[in-house]
Amino acid sequence: MEAKYILTELNNKKIGFLLEDGKLVRTYLLSSESLVGNIYTAKVMNIVPSISAAFLDAGTGDTFYYSLADNEGKNIFTKHGNSEKVCIGDELLVQVSMDPIKTKKGAATSLLELKGRYSILKRSGNVGFSKKFLNEDRKKILRERVKNVIESELGQYSGIGALVRTAASDVPDELILAEVRELAIEMNSILNAAEWSAVKNRLYTPPIEYIEELRDIIAKNKYESFKVITDLEDEYDLMFGKINSEYLEMYTDDMVSLSKVYNIEDKLKKGFNRTIHLKSGGSIIVEPTEALTVVDVNSGKAIHGKDVQKSFLKINKEAAKEIARILRLRNLSGIIIIDFISMKDADDIRELVGYLKGELSRDEKRVTYIDMTPLGLVELTRVKGEKPLTLSDFS
């Protein structure tokens, strides 16, 4: 698969567009004010026992949901009374895990994570490996070496572990260990600073997200061919040195804009339509609601020939591919319900589900296939994080 990352300015906004074989699959708002990954000292403003939650003020203008159950025994207090429990007025060190979305509050956790290209330092207490990291002998040795590095830098803080990522499987151990050490030093600095920091203070901001994602794509060798193309000199200079120059291209044609060359605006409009037409003649309708996102697949005028069921399977598979793309493009998350065209043959249903799972596996975020209900509705969940996108975000 060939992929291009187009970084340009549209309507006075810097935006990145990821194209896979010419199709727009992801957008990145570089001016996004996402708080995800930021680490703050926050004050407990309220406790709601019925939902086992606290609500925190980190000085961002929003109140964050903090699960007492998920963080039990893992709270990082910077100011605390005599009670063993989290109380109103306590001060905690937390990391934002989800931005506020519409009327829903953002979320924060004490399970701090610092992400690198090859590893993630986290408060897990153990060293784990990506499922695609297959060399068991190497894992056994590397696990102990990673533990030793963490203990040497964070000996006074217990419960810090790591996850070694897929991208690490093809690089030398020393490179991985050097990154783990760098992340451990950063974590140590944050934890030390939290002890004397004023409340509602930001102690950490993650690296520029789009550059980290590009480096991750390159490290994982995700595509047969990959190029980053921009007409913005400042962004090119920012990426140069962080991304291998063989992947970078500066677009300098003043006659035709970069967005016109790749027909970006038209791709955006089609990708964010309520109704998306399929090549087969069928269509899908995407309806986001407060609680979930509903996707309806329609056959339209696509049915022809004697074998109607095979036509249904063909339309459903085309829809599955498009739905997987739309989830990424619009950053839809939470519960997703898909109403595919009903099929009678069990083998056809299994083929559709397998195909859908394969398309969902391309997603940068975790998408979980739950089940197909007796009514034929497919249930998915997609990890929440940054807010979903709409066409108005690009205007």
In b/e form, how buried is each residue of 51-87, taking b as 16+ CB within 10 angstroms? eebbbbbbebeebbbbbbeebeeebbebebeeeeebe
Residue 390 and residue 315 share a domain:
yes
Helices (H), 240-385: 258-261, 264-271, 308-330, 346-360
List 240's β-bridge partners, or say none.
Answer: 243
- pLDDT in the model for residue 335: 94
> Does residue 221 belong to any structural domain of this protein?
yes
Check which CATH number belongs to the domain holding 247 and give it: 3.30.420
Burial class (CB in 10 A: 0-12, 13-18, 19+), 158: exposed
User: Are the C-beta atoms of 333 and 352 separated by less than 8 Å?
Assistant: no
> Does residue 197 belong to any structural domain of this protein?
no
Residue 130 and residue 103 share a domain:
no
The position carrying tokens 């070694």 is 164
Distance CA 288, CA 387 (A): 12
Residue 377 and residue 297 share a domain:
yes
Residue 319 and residue 277 share a domain:
yes
Which parts of 61-125 are beta strand (E)?
63-67, 77-79, 91-98, 106-109, 113-115, 119-122
Q: What is the DSSP string of 313-332?
A: HHHHHHHHHHHHHHHHHHT-
Q: Beta strand pairing status for 248-250 and 275-277?
A: unpaired
Nearest to 116, CA basis, from 173, 169, 162:
162
Q: Which domain holds residue 94?
A: 39-109
> Does residue 199 belong to any structural domain of this protein?
no
> Does residue 219 belong to any structural domain of this protein?
yes
Check which CATH number belongs to the domain holding 370 and give it: 3.40.630
Residue 54 and residue 20 share a domain:
no
Residue 54 and residue 152 share a domain:
no
Out of 90, 109, 128, a domain closes at 109
> Does residue 198 belong to any structural domain of this protein?
no
Out of 52, 84, 109, a domain closes at 109
Encode pLDDT of 323-373 as tens digits: 999 999 999 989 999 999 998 889 999 999 999 999 999 898 889 999 998
Our count of domains for the chain comes to 4
Encode pLDDT of 215-240 as tens digits: 888 877 889 999 999 999 999 998 88
> Does residue 202 belong to any structural domain of this protein?
no
Q: Confidence band (pLDDT; 50, 70, 90) for 69?
A: very high
More confident residue, 167 or 376: 376
The SS3 call for residue 270 is: helix
Distance CA 53, CA 107 (A): 11
Distance CA 388, CA 102 (A): 10
Out of 65, 83, 109, a domain closes at 109
- Tell whether the model's pLDDT for residue 83 goes beyond 70: yes
> Does residue 318 belong to any structural domain of this protein?
yes
pTM above 0.85, yes or no: no
More confident residue, 95 or 212: 95
> Does residue 196 belong to any structural domain of this protein?
no
Residue 250 and residue 353 share a domain:
no
- pLDDT in the model for residue 305: 57
Residue 69 and residue 22 share a domain:
no
Residue 181 and residue 157 share a domain:
yes
